[in-house]
């Protein structure tokens, strides 16, 4: 029987506000006040630096980022630097890792969800030995970076759907040099509506994690 879970769509939300919400949900999940929870969100423009950060992978000065309205935030997920912006779908599973799900298994499940999303839109996404995430013909389109505390995961994946890719030129994304970044819009030549894509994402999480998700309004959540 599918276990109960919750999904919250935060739509377009500033990064640190969502991060605070995510940590509050994570604490509630640790204390068994909530079941597993999935947060879907798009962020305003931001650079985030994970635990493996190398400042040399930021290729421009902070003054340049300030002129473009792009703040920098140090966070506790794995990995190096990446960019988030409107038109990128982020999925943050705040899930318990008991019952045989390990960190690598979680990462592979998140990659599989992105691969299946892309496949539904006729895009042949796949894994690549260079780095975790999802790739299309040598170009990176999906990113994974998680954290785990007290056997509960947070952070998650980012899938490039319709976003402006130019800020990626300011960094070595994920610490990778000379790697091209792409998006569904670049590949398909048209915008992909986010509503149906989010619905597909929820369905795939339910399938791959064997859960049944109830939608909640973030304003009434905790």
- Residue 137: DSSP 8-state: T
Three-class DSSP labels, 145-185? EEEEECCEEEEEEEEECCCCCHHHHHECHHHCCCCCECCHH
Dihedrals phi, psi of 88, to nearest 5 degrees: -110, 130
Which residue of the set 18, 37, 72, 174 is catalytic?
Answer: 174
User: Contact, 57 vs 126, CB < 8 A?
Assistant: no
Residue partners of 17: CB distance under 8 A and separation at least 6: none
211 classed as catalytic: no
Give catalytic residue positions.
174
């Amino acid at each position: 029987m599918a276990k109960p879970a919750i999904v919250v769509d935060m739509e377009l939300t500033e990064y640190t506000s969502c991060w605070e919400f995510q940590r509050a949900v994570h604490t509630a999940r640790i204390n068994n006040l909530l079941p597993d929870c999935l947060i879907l969100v798009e962020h305003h423009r931001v650079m985030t630096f994970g635990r493996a950060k190398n400042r040399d992978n930021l290729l421009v000065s902070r003054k340049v980022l300030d002129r473009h309205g792009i703040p920098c935030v140090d966070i506790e997920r794995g990995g190096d630097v990446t960019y988030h912006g409107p038109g990128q779908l982020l999925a943050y599973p705040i899930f318990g890792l008991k019952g045989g799900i390990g960190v690598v298994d979680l990462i592979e499940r998140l990659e599989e969800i992105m691969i299946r999303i892309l496949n539904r839109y006729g895009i042949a996404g796949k894994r690549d030995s260079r780095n975790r995430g999802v790739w299309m013909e040598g170009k990176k389109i999906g990113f994974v970076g998680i954290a785990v505390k007290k056997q509960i995961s947070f952070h998650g994946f980012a899938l490039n759907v319709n976003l402006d890719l130019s800020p990626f030129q300011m960094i070595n994304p994920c610490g990778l040099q000379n790697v091209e970044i792409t998006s569904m819009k670049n590949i398909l030549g048209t915008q992909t509506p986010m509503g149906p894509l989010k619905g597909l994402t929820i369905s795939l999480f339910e399938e791959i994690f064997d859960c049944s998700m109830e939608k909640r309004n973030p304003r009434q959540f905790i």
